[in-house]
Amino acid sequence: MTDNISIENTFLKKIMQDIKCKRSEENINLFFNEVAMNAHFVCIAKISEVPKSTKDGKNKFINNADLDLQVVTSDDGKIYYTAFSDIIELKKYNDDDKFNIAVLNFES
């Protein structure tokens, strides 16, 4: 269910490339600022009730609907939410289109 998702995070991906080339305090600060202030992330989600589309094209969750975000567990037992900079990165992780997508930002 990734057909109409358009998340790119162009500046975030540029900063990440810059950090690979030069890991400086300035680049790290730019990265965290972009994550906190501007970036949106694509997450694999399980939704208990299908949201209803509104007139303005947005989806509205039904009251008391559950939204579970996919997590991964590291070898040492730490749990992390999956979050991808765009659909291309998500498809590298999971190319199966049989899942729901949630788009979240830092405030979500």
Mode of pairing for the β-strands spanning 59-60 and 67-69: unpaired
pLDDT digits (tens), the chain, 108 positions: 555 668 999 999 999 999 999 999 999 999 999 999 999 999 999 888 878 888 988 888 888 888 899 999 999 999 999 999 999 999 898 877 778 888 899 886
Per-residue pLDDT at 31? 97
Distance CA 81, CA 86 (A): 15
CA–CA distances in Å: residue 77 to residues 72, 74, 81, 98: 9, 5, 13, 27
Q: What is the pLDDT of residue 58?
A: 82
pTM: 0.74
In this prediction, residue 99 carries a pLDDT of 80
